[in-house]
Each structure stands twice: as C-alpha cells, then as structure tokens.
Amino acid sequence: MCQRLYIASFRPIGSVSRSKDAPYLELWPAGKQDETVRRHFPIGEFPMLYVAAGHSPCGCGFPELLPGGRDRFQDQPEERATMARLVEALRPVVTSRPRVQLYLCFIGHEEDRPEGRRSVTLRDLADPSFRFQDLEVVTVFKGGVEQRVAPAERAMARLRRARR
C-alpha cells in the first residue's frame, strides 16, 4: 500500500515538482477525488488542501513509525531529503500563518478517522528522528508560537533529544 500526505493550510502553498536535481517531493493542490480527507481539518481555519508524495515513484517515502515502534524505511538518506524539502515548502506558510496540519494515510484510507493528534514545530519536523504515524493529524507550528503537547509526547520529545 502506498502513502499520501495531506496538507491543510490557510494560505496557498506553491506546487513542488520532482526534478532530476530534486526528486524527493511532489506537492499539488488536492482534487475532487481527495475531498473525503478534508473533513479531518477545520475548513474555516484551513481552506486550502494539498497532496504530497514522497521520494518513491508511488508517493511513499515519508518516515513512518509502524505499530510496535518499527520504522517503515529505517532512516534512509532519501527520506531525510524528502522531509527537508517538505519543511522548506511549508516554511513560508507557517511563517505567515503560524500553523498547518498534516495527515498521513495509505491510499484508500482517506476516509478513516484520525487516530491521534500531536503538535510539532518545523524544527521537530526537520529532525531526522521525526516519524509520522498512520492516521495521525500533525499540527506544525513555526516554533515557540504555540505548543499544545500532551505529557506523553513531551516525554517522547525529550527521549529523541537525549538520543542526539
């Protein structure tokens, strides 16, 4: 099964195309076929919806933590490059409006209700230890603007920092 990352934003995000020099991310406005995922985001706050595909030809390639704590892709350089390119695409939007929301799911599971929510900063998203979780809404802040993190998530963040 292949992944899709949906991005909800208040402001437009420029399209990102894969190229020979930068094959790590593709980003485009969501179409009618993607409307089922829109209900996971507050439309008044996030009227723009985008689809992102990672470095793999099928769109996979985002770092993901599988049930049981296993990594899907075991920290590949392409995965880090995909995330770096995603952070750069989000930076102008997050800077002007202090957040966006991301939702990672497998194709065909767009209607599934989110099973979790967490908040991270752009810096957290750029960290090589960052992992998405399937069916989780991730709110991305500029950094220090607003941080609503559950105690368990704070403990995980401290653990990630200690590993560095």
Torsion angle defined by CA atoms of residues 64, 160, 143 and 21, in that order, rounded to the nearest 10 degrees:
-50
Closest by CA to 123, choosing from 83, 81, 82, is 83
Compute CA distances 61 → 13, 48, 133, 151, whole Å: 20, 23, 13, 29
What whole-number distance in Å separates Cα of residue 23 and Cα of residue 36?
A: 28
Taking only the tens place, the pLDDT of each residue in 109-161 is: 999 999 999 999 999 999 988 999 989 999 998 874 443 444 445 445 555 55
Taking only the tens place, the pLDDT of each residue in 8-26 is: 999 999 889 888 888 889 9
